[in-house]
Structure 1
Amino acid sequence: MAASSDSLSAATHHASTSTSRSGVGSVAVAVVVNVVVSTLVAFLIGRLAIALGVPAGTMQYQLPALLVIILLASVIGAAGWSIVRRRARHPRGLIRVLAPVVLVVSLVPDVLLGVGGVATWGAVAGLMVMHVAVAALTVTVFSRLLPLPHHHG
Structure 2
Amino acid sequence: MTKTTDTTPRPLRPAFDAGTVVGGVVLAALASVAVNSVIATIASSALPPGGTRMGLELQEYASLTVVGILLGALAWFLVRRHADNPRAVLRYLVPAAVLLSLVPDFGILMTGVPLLNALALVAMHLAVAAITVPTLAKVLPLPLAEA
> Which interval holds the TM-score relative to the shorter structure?
0.7 to 0.9
1:50 to 1:113, Cα distance in 2 relative to 1, 3 A: same
Separation in 1 of the partners of 2:49 and 2:124?
16
TM-score computed with the length of structure 2 as normaliser: 0.79
Partner of 1:79: 74
Does the aligned pair in 2 maintain the 1:30–1:146 contact within 8 Å?
Answer: no
Partner of 1:27: 21
The structure, 1 or 2, with the larger RCO (C-alpha pairs under 8 Å, 6+ apart) is 2
Does the aligned pair in 2 maintain the 1:31–1:78 contact within 8 Å?
Answer: yes
Unaligned runs of 5+ in 1: 1-19
Residue 34 (structure 1) shift:
1.1
For the residue of structure 2 that corresponds to 1:61, the secondary structure is coil
Separation in 1 of the partners of 2:40 and 2:145?
38
Unaligned runs of 5+ in 2: 1-14
Would you tell me which structure has more helix in proportion to its own residues?
1
Partner of 1:41: 35
For the residue of structure 1 that corresponds to 2:16, the secondary structure is coil
Stretches (4+) displaced over 4 A: 54-57
Residue 43 (structure 1) shift:
0.8
Over the aligned positions, Cα root-mean-square deviation in angstroms equals: 2.1
Does the aligned pair in 1 maintain the 2:54–2:117 contact within 8 Å?
Answer: no
Q: Provide the aligned length of Structure 1 versus Structure 2.
A: 131
Aligned residues: percent identity?
32
